[in-house]
Structure formats: structure tokens, C-alpha cells
Amino acid sequence: MSPYERKESAVRRLLEEAQPAAVPPELFEEAVRRGGRSLRRRRALRRFLWLVLLAAAVAFTVWACAARPWVEPPSDTTPPLTRW
């Protein structure tokens, strides 16, 4: 008997056995409650992360406007005079 045939026969035995009883109602209610809580937490976390991203973008924009890093800083020394 090949491994595939053994797996197939095991699955067939599981499917032929009697199915378990229905899920208790209190278990369903608990699952719904926990799922709702999980969704609310995930939504709040996503909103918080978007808010942090927006705040970082605003802070970078304000810093870039104030510091202007693309502009070359003024020279502290004057260039040497060659034609005098």
C-alpha cells in the first residue's frame, strides 16, 4: 500500500464516521463577540498607523520647508583672488 493510498483510506474512514453534534450556541456567541472585538482592534490600529504616517509626512514637509536641504549652504570663506 502506497503512502497516498494510506492517506486516502484514512480520510475515507474519517468521512464515514458519525459527524459530531452541532456547535453549542454559547460557543457561537463567544466567537462572534471575539471576532467583533478583533475587527475593532484591527480597524483602530490601522487608523492609528495612518495617523502616524500622516503626522510623519507633515513633520517632514515642515522640516524641509524650514531647513531647505536642497539649497547649498553659504560659503564661510571667500574664494582666493587670482586676477589682481
Q: CA 6, 12, 17 angle in degrees (round to 5)? A: 130
Helix, strand, coil percentages in the chain from 3-state DSSP, rounded to 5: 70, 0, 30
- Does residue 74 have a pLDDT over 90? no
Which tops the pLDDT comparison, 19 or 13? 13
Q: What 3-state class would DSSP assign to 18?
A: coil
* Mean pLDDT, rounded, of the chain: 89
pLDDT tier for residue 84 given thresholds of 50, 70 and 90: low
Which tops the pLDDT comparison, 2 or 56? 56
Q: Hey, CA dihedral for 66, 67, 68, 73, is it positive or negative? A: positive
